[in-house]
Amino acid sequence: MESLKIGIITQVRVTSSRLPAKVLLSVRGRTYLEHHLDRLQHTGLPVIVATTSNFNDDVVVEVAKHAGVPVFRGSEDDVLSRFAGASREHGLDGIVRVTSDCPLIDPGIVAAGVDRWRAENDLDLYLSNCLERTYPRGMDYEIFSAARLYDAEDRATLRADREHVTSYLHQNRSGEMRLLNLPWTGGGAQYRLTLDTPDDWKLLDALIDDHGAAGMSCAELVTFLDAHPELSTLNAHIEQKKLGE
C-alpha cells in the first residue's frame, strides 16, 4: 500500500442552498476556499478540486488555479461520477474525500488517517473519522480505494448515492466493504467549524479574523471554544442537513 498514489479530492460548487457562494466569502484577505486548500496542502498529499461544469463555477477554477490546485469539472448532481472522473484523470489509487465547507480542517488529522488506511493494507476498507461523531464538524474525511469508487460508480442506482458520493460505500450496499471509524478523544463534538449557514460564517469569521484560527490545530480550536462559550453559541442551534436533504 506504500506505493499507492493517494490524493485528496474536495468537492466545490457555488450554488449551495443555505449560503450561496459560501466558499468565495473572504476573511483575512483570502476566500474560505483558499483557507481550505491551504490546510489540505499541508498534508503533503496531492489536492484536486472537483467542481461542476456550470459557468457559475468558473470562479472556483480561478481560485483553485491561483492556489496551485488542479481542477476537474463534471456533473453537478452526479457527484459520484465527478469524483470518479477526478480520480481517473489524476491516476489515483486511493481517495481522501473532503468537502470545501471545512476551512479549518486539520491537515495532521487527515494525514494520520491516510497513514492508518495504508497500514490496514485493505482495498475494501472505508476509513473515516465521522461514522460516529467524535470530532467537531468541519474536520471530517473519508478514505477509500479508487477500485471501490469505480465499483460504486458502476453499480449505484439510488439518486442519494450518486449525489452524496460515498453512501454506497459506507452503507455497504455491495456487502463487500469493511468500515473503520477513527474516533477522537479530545472533545468538541458539539462544535460546528463548518461553513453552511450565515451563523456558521459569523463564528468562523470571528475565529479567523480575531483569534488567528487559520493557524490552529483541531485540539487548539476545541480548547479555545471550550474557553469562549460566547463564540460557540453563535451557531450552536444549527441543525446539520440529513442525508438526502
231 part of a folded domain: no
| pTM for this model (two decimals) | 0.95
223 part of a folded domain: no
232 part of a folded domain: no
16 part of a folded domain: yes
CA distances from residue 82 to 2, 97, 143 in whole angstroms, order as listed: 26, 12, 16
Q: Is 62 exposed, middle or buried (0-12, 13-18, 19+ CB in 10 A)?
A: exposed
152: domain CATH number is: 3.90.550.10
220 part of a folded domain: no
What own/partner pairs with CB < 8 Å and gap ≥ 24 does 86-90 have?
86/9, 86/48, 86/50, 87/7, 87/9, 87/146, 87/149, 87/150, 88/146, 90/5, 90/7, 90/46, 90/48
Expressed as residue numbers, the domain containing 52 is 6-191
Q: Note down pLDDT in tens along the chain; length 245 residues.
A: 778 999 999 999 998 777 888 999 999 999 999 999 999 999 999 999 999 999 999 999 999 999 999 999 999 999 999 999 999 999 999 999 999 999 999 999 999 999 999 999 999 999 999 999 999 999 999 999 999 999 999 999 999 999 999 999 999 999 999 999 999 999 999 999 999 999 999 999 999 999 999 999 999 999 999 999 999 999 998 876 555 44
90 part of a folded domain: yes
225 part of a folded domain: no
80 part of a folded domain: yes
Task: Give the span between the Cα atoms of 75 and 87, in whole angstroms.
Answer: 14
User: How many domains is the chain partitioned into structurally?
Assistant: 1
